Structure 1
């Protein structure tokens, strides 16, 4: 509208700023049941039920991905307790909320070649590996399309606290579509079929700092 104030642009900018701040604060922050409304696309948990399915693990089931947490008697469970003691804001369920968002953002940013997003969420060494792969793809004039159709399972498989450096390893089981195309839009890798992908990601954070961001430090496929 001529002469009008561009209120739609301001609203978009405010939403973008909120999402960036939300991601930086959610990993490791206590989410609990008193958390504020989640970002669009992340369903609010309606119920939580914990079951002892073996002597080694407890499964916390909520809407969305099936979640597995180690029980407190295991080394990983004891490490999570130590992390919580060092950082009272840490909560395993809240951590998984943020880990899910980070997983989606990192996978999609890598496919787009979004270096800025990757830089903010990855450690220096991990970023170097991701950036190298993006550069090689660009030099080959290839493009990647990745769609995360669903995340079926998330499990905390390991944890440690070395001094003030906290480390949590998460297993993601997701259904994805991954296709790499060449300069002529020909398919050079991948398929339109939905494929189950299992990723093991390790996040780290110095709990002595005020920065709440957990950064991805290692990745591997199972």
Structure 2
């Protein structure tokens, strides 16, 4: 009789232990091999929001994007102006910054200058201001018009280094309106000068 009571006690204890285990498992959950690896639903939603936000900034050309653009536009402006004045009459540094149309126009002007035996001397003082006049998006192409005010010392000399026009001692204020363009779907972040307005 004593043995039968012992078996009943063991069975009861096993049932209680099993019940407690099931309760704990239900409350605490169970570990899997993917724990900490698969992103939660919240993370997926957050990533989607961030992706959409980046796309919106790209499409709307917001204030922060405009500030970054103007920094690059000033550098491009100085590069193109000084490259156009080099004595070799070749566009090297600024070529990637120019559309084919503008490159051809500048190249033609340089060739004409070279035929006459003339060359330009430009000392770039700095950009006084660069302001976005307007920006328009047509399909995937974003065009941004910028008004530049800069100061330079410029003159044209002949092959004997005689000054033909300009003043090598005088600072001149220059007003330019340039149009930059970029394909917003392209991985290439660079802009190109596509037009110069008077």
| Structure 1 unmatched runs, 5+ | 1-80
Deviation at 1:189, TM superposition (A): 1.2
Post-superposition Cα deviations, 1:165-194, rounded to whole Å, max 9, x if no partner, equal 000010000111111100111111111211
1:152 aligns with one of 122, 125, 128 = 128
Post-superposition Cα deviations, 1:83-131, rounded to whole Å, max 9, x if no partner, equal 733679x710000000000000000011113322232110001111100
Residue in 1 that maps onto 2:178: 201
Residue in 1 that maps onto 2:65: 91
Normalized per residue, the structure richer in helix is 2
More displaced 10-residue stretch of structure 1: 110-119 or 179-188: 110-119
Normalized per residue, the structure richer in strand is 1
Give yes or no for the alignment of 1:118 onto 2:94.
yes
Question: Could you state the TM-score of these two structures normalised by the residue count of structure 1?
Answer: 0.59
Residue in 2 that maps onto 1:23: none
CA RMSD, Structure 1 to Structure 2 (Å)? 2.0
Higher relative contact order (CA closer than 8 Å, sequence separation 6+): 1
Secondary structure of 1:183's aligned partner: coil
Post-superposition Cα deviations, 1:10-54, rounded to whole Å, max 9, x if no partner, equal xxxxxxxxxxxxxxxxxxxxxxxxxxxxxxxxxxxxxxxxxxxxx
